Structure 1
Amino acid sequence: MNIQVEELSKLLLDGKVMKAWTFLQSSASGKNTMEFYDMIKEAMYHIGELWEENRITVAEEHVASHVCKNLLSYKYYHSLKQTYHVIPLKKKKAMFFCVEGEEHDLGVHIVSNYFHENGWDTQCLGRNLKLEHALQFAEKFKPEVIGISVNIVYNLPLVNKYIEVLEELPFGPVIMVGGKLAASHDLEFHCPPGTMIIRSLTEIEDLINYTGTVQHGNAINV
């Protein structure tokens, strides 16, 4: 276990928002956006393991999640200050959410932030979103990318249903699926052909850095 991840995890569990922010800014992650997000992700994975081993309580895990969302808000605010003067003629759009029954939405907030910092118009709809509500929002917002997060195995059939419905949208959005299961399960087996499977934050960074956008067929895993 990375010593920095352990130190950050303790700050999150102790509810120390500003100390966690200062810690991240003083480390290497403070100078690199993806490292910043990746360290938060690894710390929350570590905290999840502590909960599974009954070494922390559910309440403590909730405290850590709340601190993380504050950190993401600070990061979002600082990115706005750095990019507010850059006004592209037309921003590409992306929306992100967790399927119904998924309560952990930190990942989609991180991905939404990262897309936003790279010039996209993003909307993060968070946790536990019913298909009908996702579809209604997508029809109105018309995003080029729809990102779905799944962390619980028994929700995989539900993800397939979401994708099949959203793929019928007339403007042809790219459907991106990620989450904790992406690294441990063969999501291609559970998703329709053409679904973009994202296993790590690095893959998202590579897509945006090397292509400038996200399109059908330009991902590592399609």
Structure 2
Amino acid sequence: MVNPQRTDSVKYRRLAAMKRTVRANGEAFAKAALYLDALLIFSGIFSVVLAVFLVESHKGLQEDLLLRILQQLRESGSPLEFRQTPITLCVNGLWFTSLVLSLSTALTVLMAKWMGGRAAEMMEVVRDVDISDKPWSAGPLERRFRRGDLYFLRKLSILKAIATMGMGISLLLFFAGLIAFTWSGHTATGVAIMVMVSIVYALALLALVHDRWTSVQRIPRDDPLENC
């Protein structure tokens, strides 16, 4: 025979775990929402700027018909075959790849925000749930809770990491193409851009390493934070 008190206790713990999970998901998304919005706006603006560069650089992949006609008028022999320069191919390849990564970053952020929208809706459901005094109020929570909610934090962190890395690689490819583009026309400008980009990425790498290193350091026992 099933013990009713034991059944109620198990159900209470289950509902309490659901409530804690939903609250943790909602709070995590609320913290990440501002960063995701900024990343989405930046990736959109960067994609527009990159498209402007591609409109100009893509002309080097196509033959100039007016120049070909002029060569035919000046020369009696057969005109020279049109070939793209290695620099043009390199720059366009880097910038097109950068554009794809930037748009993929925006898509990843939209996926994260779509997931966060469900977390925000579940937070609204939890606000009306009081399992201590009104256990019947947990009905909407039980009906809408899904197993995927248990893995929301992990999925959100993965999407954030993918979007951040994608945007960083996209910027790196854009700067690499910009260096190659300017180097062929004006070496000094290309060197200056390369130095500035190297300094910025070196500082970003040092900041990331320092953050990871300090996050694993344990607080000493005599530290005043231990007593807070």
TM-score class normalised by the smaller sequence: under 0.3
| TM-score relative to the length of structure 2 | 0.24
Which structure features the higher share of strand residues? Answer: 1
Higher Cα radius of gyration? 2
| TM-score relative to the length of structure 1 | 0.24
Which structure features the higher share of helix residues? Answer: 2
Q: Relative contact order (C-alpha < 8 Å, sep 6+): which is higher?
A: 2
